[in-house]
């Protein structure tokens, strides 16, 4: 399958809309999975059936022992309230 990396925004817009239509048809029982996957991979447009992963390639190996680091995060007031209800 050929990947269209430099496709114009118009092509991506078309593919995104076509995928949306196909996903609606899929919910109604039509098997459109193959076309959804094909369009998503060809035009680099996400869909409900595909995922994009970013993989960092390191040229220098990591040395030393693995260690767990706790990284503090900022909680907004609505997240704090939802966590207290659990």
Per-residue pLDDT tens digits for 21-64: 999 999 999 999 999 999 999 999 999 999 888 888 888 877 88
Exposure on the CB side of residue 13, measured as CA atoms within 13 A: 3
pLDDT recorded at residue 81:
57
- Number of Cβ atoms within 10 Å of the Cβ of 32: 19
State the burial class of residue 48 (Cβ atoms within 10 Å of its Cβ: 0-12, 13-18, 19+).
middle
Q: Residue 18: pLDDT above 60?
A: yes
* Closest to 20 measured CA to CA, from 43, 40, 44: 40
Residue 56 has which token pair? Answer: 């960092």
Mean pLDDT of 3-23: 84
Give the residue carrying structure tokens 């919910």.
27
pTM above 0.75, yes or no: no
pLDDT recorded at residue 19:
97
């Amino acid at each position: 399958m050929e990947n269209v990396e430099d496709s114009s925004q118009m092509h991506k817009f078309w593919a995104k809309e076509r995928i949306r239509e196909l996903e609606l048809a899929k919910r109604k029982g039509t098997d459109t999975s193959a076309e959804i996957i094909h369009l998503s991979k060809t035009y680099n447009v996400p869909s409900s059936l595909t995922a994009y992963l970013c993989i960092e390639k390191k040229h220098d190996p990591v040395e030393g022992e693995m260690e767990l680091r706790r990284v503090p995060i900022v909680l907004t007031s609505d997240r704090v309230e939802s966590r207290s209800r659990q």
